[in-house]
């Protein structure tokens, strides 16, 4: 009888229509989140509101679902306002205490917060000239000096903006000096070369000069940690300098233009940590860069190499060698990825840099066959589509002389294939006789492809292949995936 009454009042029909409409709205909001990379907070918020308003929908359906005019009852007059007040209160406290958002990561447990600084100072140059590192290059330069303030500002503006853009969707916090005081503070940072120089001095002098190094870095870390309410994992410092090459340097560069200057940079990262005894210590990592900007070459620009250096180091620190591996193929362009970094979000752009081949005794024959077959696939494709060779060099930013030059690429592949086939048994025997290392790895960048995360659940991401370097590329289980 009660069920018949509900049907007469059209409660099931109204609830069914509500369910269809609510589901459509949720799918639409979810589409907006994926398409425009909004926060998943909006989907959770909409779902919460649509579920909580159901009591009011049931009340209205029951008392006003039947044909004809109905009077407002006490149940409606009190029930619906109470329902709305409850939703408003839940939304208020949920927003205040972040119940609808994911718990923010503990910055002290992951590498996701960086302080980036690019500088060019006379103090760095003076210190650099005292080090053995400068002795190695002193015969190749007539003079070395800081770049102009205007060029430094240009480099900083370009690199800082591109870093923000690069990591805007990756929950990575990148900080920079914003005031004159902060810039002066970071200008005091010193290089690894100079630290080694100080440590090499006589004990008494070395101790006196190095006593202020750790307090300086700890002061900087504490200042920016407090300012941004975070835990700075690494200070990434770039020192830029300009030099006039000597005749010997010009000969080495194969460049004898007059009035030539070159701009180069050095990178060092610094991390503070506390050991098991509670002592606060520093860890340094330095990289020498062989990239420089030659003044008379118009398309030479040091800004991009500096950005690439910083970006690659941030990715290495935050994501490791790779962020996950392909663990299943759902369709030709749809895969799942087992993530090492499960905090990645939908919309994240990914890349498989190359197909890898690990040669070891237990799988040498199968790997060698696959390796040779892939060479043949590449060779056949370029034979049929020679116009793609130009794209290959452009996409991978190859030098025109790599692989013996563009015109020689097909011949180079053919020689490699013939060599692999002719020496097949010798290679297998030498692995089995352990004349090679236990594992040797190679990669083919020709099989590069790009992906975009669609969903993430329990460290498994579903991703769509959005592009390929060449059409013969297909994802394989075990492919290593990284942030694009």
The pLDDT value recorded for residue 106 is: 44
The pLDDT value recorded for residue 181 is: 93
The pLDDT value recorded for residue 438 is: 47
Q: Looking at the predicted structure, is the pLDDT value of residue 23 above 90?
A: no
Q: Exposed (0-12), middle (13-18) or buried (19+): which is 240, by Cβ within 10 Å?
A: buried
The pLDDT value recorded for residue 36 is: 61
110-455-470-359 Cα dihedral, nearest 10 degrees: 50
Q: Residue 58: name the closest of 107, 110, 6, 109 by CA.
A: 6
The pLDDT value recorded for residue 96 is: 66
Q: What is the 3-state secondary structure (H, E, C) of 133-157?
A: HHHHHHHHEEEEECCCHHHHHHHHH
Using an 8 Å Cβ cutoff, are 255 and 273 in contact?
A: no
Could you tell me which residues come within 8 angstroms of residue 207 by beta carbon, excluding any fewer than 6 positions away?
none
Quick one: average pLDDT of 80-94? 80
Backbone angles phi, psi at 237, to 5 degrees: -115, 130
Query: What pLDDT digit, counting tens, does each position of 156-167 carry?
Result: 999 999 999 888
Residue 458's pLDDT band (boundaries 50, 70, 90)? confident
Q: Residue 288: name the closest of 309, 307, 258 by CA.
A: 309
How many other CB atoms sit within 10 Å of the CB of residue 113? 22
Question: b or e along 257-285 (b: 16 or more beta carbons within 10 Å of the residue's beta carbon)?
Answer: eeebbbbbbbbbbbbbeeeeeeeeeeebe
The pLDDT value recorded for residue 108 is: 44
Query: What pLDDT digit, counting tens, does each position of 377-402 carry?
Result: 999 999 999 898 888 888 777 777 77
Long-range contacts from 433-437, C-beta under 8 angstroms, 24+ separation: 434/361, 436/359
**C-alpha dihedral sign at 283, 289, 294, 300:** negative
Could you tell me which residues come within 8 angstroms of residue 483 by beta carbon, excluding any fewer than 6 positions away?
170, 315, 319, 323, 348, 349, 350, 351
Q: What residue ranges do the domains of the chain occupy? A: 2-96, 113-319, 324-483
The pLDDT value recorded for residue 247 is: 85
Could you tell me which residues come within 8 angstroms of residue 155 by beta carbon, excluding any fewer than 6 positions away?
118, 147, 240, 302, 303, 306
The pLDDT value recorded for residue 210 is: 62
Using an 8 Å Cβ cutoff, are 101 and 41 in contact?
A: yes
For residues 7 and 373, the model is more confident at 373
Query: What pLDDT digit, counting tens, does each position of 288-324 carry?
Result: 666 778 877 777 789 999 998 898 888 878 776 678 8
Measured CA to CA, the distance from residue 223 to residue 234 in angstroms comes to 14
Tokens 């000069």 sit on residue: 209
The pLDDT value recorded for residue 146 is: 95
Q: Which two tokens stand for residue 136?
A: 């190695």
Quick one: average pLDDT of 108-116? 73
Query: What pLDDT digit, counting tens, does each position of 28-83 carry?
Result: 877 776 666 566 667 777 888 888 888 888 888 777 777 766 677 777 777 788 88
The pLDDT value recorded for residue 204 is: 57
Residue 107's pLDDT band (boundaries 50, 70, 90)? very low
Measured CA to CA, the distance from residue 374 to residue 440 in angstroms comes to 17
Q: Looking at the predicted structure, is the pLDDT value of residue 100 above 60?
A: no
Query: What pLDDT digit, counting tens, does each position of 113-122 carry?
Result: 899 999 999 9
Partnered with residue 360 across adjacent β-strands are 439
Quick one: average pLDDT of 448-461? 88
Percent of the chain with pLDDT over 70: 84
The pLDDT value recorded for residue 442 is: 64
The pLDDT value recorded for residue 120 is: 95
Question: b or e along 306-340 (b: 16 or more beta carbons within 10 Å of the residue's beta carbon)?
Answer: bbebbbebbbebbbeebbbebeeeeeebebbbebe
Tokens 């240009």 sit on residue: 154
Query: What pLDDT digit, counting tens, does each position of 246-270 carry?
Result: 888 888 777 778 888 889 999 888 8
Query: What pLDDT digit, counting tens, does each position of 208-247 carry?
Result: 556 678 888 899 999 999 998 888 889 999 999 999 988 8
Query: What pLDDT digit, counting tens, does each position of 400-412 carry?
Result: 777 777 888 888 8
Partnered with residue 483 across adjacent β-strands are 350
């Amino acid at each position: 009888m009660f069920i018949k009454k509900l049907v007469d009042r059209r409660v099931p029909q109204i609830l069914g229509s509500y369910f269809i409409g609510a589901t459509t709205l949720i799918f639409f909001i979810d589409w907006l989140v994926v398409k425009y990379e909004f926060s998943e907070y909006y989907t959770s918020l909409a779902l919460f509101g649509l579920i909580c308003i159901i009591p009011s929908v049931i009340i209205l359906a029951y008392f006003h679902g039947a044909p004809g005019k109905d009077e407002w009852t006490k149940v409606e007059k009190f029930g619906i306002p109470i329902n709305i007040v409850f939703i408003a209160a839940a939304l208020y406290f949920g927003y205040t205490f972040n119940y609808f958002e994911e718990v923010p990561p503990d910055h002290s447990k992951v590498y996701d917060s960086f302080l980036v600084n690019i500088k060019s100072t006379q103090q760095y140059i003076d210190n650099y000239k005292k080090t053995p590192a400068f002795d190695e290059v002193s015969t190749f330069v007539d003079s070395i000096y800081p770049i102009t303030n205007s060029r430094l500002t240009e480099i900083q503006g370009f690199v800082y903006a591109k870093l923000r853009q690069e990591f805007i969707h990756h929950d990575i916090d990148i900080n920079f000096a914003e005031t004159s005081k902060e810039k002066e503070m970071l200008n005091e940072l010193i290089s690894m070369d100079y630290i080694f120089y100080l440590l090499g001095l006589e004990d008494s002098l070395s101790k006196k000069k190095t006593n202020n190094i750790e307090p300086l870095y700890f002061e900087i870390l504490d200042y920016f940690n407090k300012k941004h309410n975070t835990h700075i994992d690494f200070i990434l410092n770039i020192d830029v300098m300009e030099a006039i090459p000597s005749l010997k340097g010009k000969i080495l560069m194969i460049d004898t233009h007059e009035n030539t200057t070159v701009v180069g940079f050095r990178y060092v990262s610094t991390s503070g940590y506390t050991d098991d005894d509670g002592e606060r210590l520093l860890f340094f990592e330095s990289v020498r860069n062989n990239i420089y900007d030659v003044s008379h070459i118009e398309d030479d620009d040091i800004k991009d190499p500096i950005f690439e250096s910083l970006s690659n180091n941030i990715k290495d620190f935050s994501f490791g060698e790779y962020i996950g591996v392909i663990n299943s193929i759902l369709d030709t362009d749809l895969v799942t990825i087992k993530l090492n970094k499960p905090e990645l979000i939908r919309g994240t752009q990914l890349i498989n840099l190359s197909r890898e081949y690990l040669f070891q005794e237990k799988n040498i024959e199968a790997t060698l066959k696959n390796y040779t077959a892939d060479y043949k696939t590449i060779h056949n494709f370029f034979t049929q589509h020679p116009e793609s060779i130009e794209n290959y060099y452009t996409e991978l930013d190859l030098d025109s002389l790599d692989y013996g030059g563009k015109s020689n690429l097909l011949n180079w592949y053919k020689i490699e294939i013939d060599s692999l086939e002719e020496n097949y048994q010798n290679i297998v025997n030498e692995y089995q006789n352990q004349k090679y290392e236990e594992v040797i790895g190679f990669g083919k960048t020709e099989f590069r492809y790009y992906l975009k995360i669609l969903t993430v659940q329990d460290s498994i991401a579903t991703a769509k292949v959005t592009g390929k370097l060449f059409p013969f590329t297909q994802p394989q289980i075990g492919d290593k995936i990284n942030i694009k």
